[in-house]
Chain A
Amino acid sequence: GENVEQHPSTLSVQEGDSAVIKCTYSDSASNYFPWYKQELGKGPQLIIDIRSNVGEKKDQRIAVTLNKTAKHFSLHITETQPEDSAVYFCAATDSWGKLQFGAGTQVVVTP
């Protein structure tokens, strides 16, 4: 089955710097790769996603890249702000179309 690994587990960045979170997946049939952000006391919320026919997608300060050959995808946050502090989860669809989530990355943006 699908196995999604996510690194790092914690990430501390200075406000204004960039943050990068990386994920790898095992199932070559995976075709959908969403990223969720979970703020304290709330459920996860989709922030960006990418499908297998696209290599990169950008939405303001966040971007996601996908390398299907290497089976890895990354989240990039530029010009980080304190409100970017949260737990971020990557995910990938498995052969049955269900999402498999990574373990999560705790991002802390310090002023």
Chain B
Amino acid sequence: DVKVTQSSRYLVKRTGEKVFLECVQDMDHENMFWYRQDPGLGLRLIYFSYDVKMKEKGDIPEGYSVSREKKERFSLILESASTNQTSMYLCASSPGVAGGSDEQFFGPGTRLTVL
């Protein structure tokens, strides 16, 4: 079974702190994604990556950056956390054989609270 793991289930940070959210997948998938999930808004794509060291902006990249130094690991970085970044963050991976049209496998999520 594909496993996508996220470094923390719950995280509490202060405004202005630099925050790292880590994601690791164990199925040699090409694609990795970061979403945020907010009530009534569904899942919104922050950044994605189709290859090592490659990154593309999603729909809401402002205030975030990402890093993919190894194929299995995709990190989301909040350079200076703000209260409006309080949310559930979901990482996903997909094989990449069908572009954007293949199954995405999600991690359990990180509930981030910024005080």
- Residues on A close to B: CB < 8 A? 1, 4, 6, 9, 31-32, 34, 36, 41-46, 49, 51, 89, 93, 96-104
Contact = CB atoms under 8 A, between A and B. Distances in A.
Interface core residue of A41, A43, A99 (most chain B CB under 10 Å): A43
A98 B92 CA distance: 13
B107 A102 contact: no
Interface residues of B, number: 22
A49 B103 CA distance: 9
Contacts of A4: 42
A99 B108 contact: no
A43 B100 contact: no
A45 B40 CA distance: 19
Contacts of A36: 106
B106 A44 contact: yes
B42 A101 contact: yes
Contact of A41 (B40, B90, B92, B108): B108
Contacts of B59: 1, 98, 100
A104 B106 contact: no
Given A93-B100, A93-B101, A97-B100, A43 B45 contact: no
Interface of B: 4, 40-45, 48, 58-59, 90, 92, 98-101, 103-104, 106-109
Contact of B107 (A9, A31, A43): A43
The majority secondary structure among interface residues of chain B is: loop
Contacts of A49: 103
28 contacts: A4-B42, A9-B40, A31-B101, A32-B98, A32-B101, A34-B103, A36-B106, A41-B108, A42-B109, A43-B109, A44-B90, A45-B106, A46-B103, A46-B104, A51-B101, A96-B100, A97-B99, A97-B101, A98-B48, A98-B58, A98-B59, A99-B45, A100-B59, A101-B43, A101-B44, A103-B40, A103-B41, A104-B40
Contacts of B43: 44, 89, 101
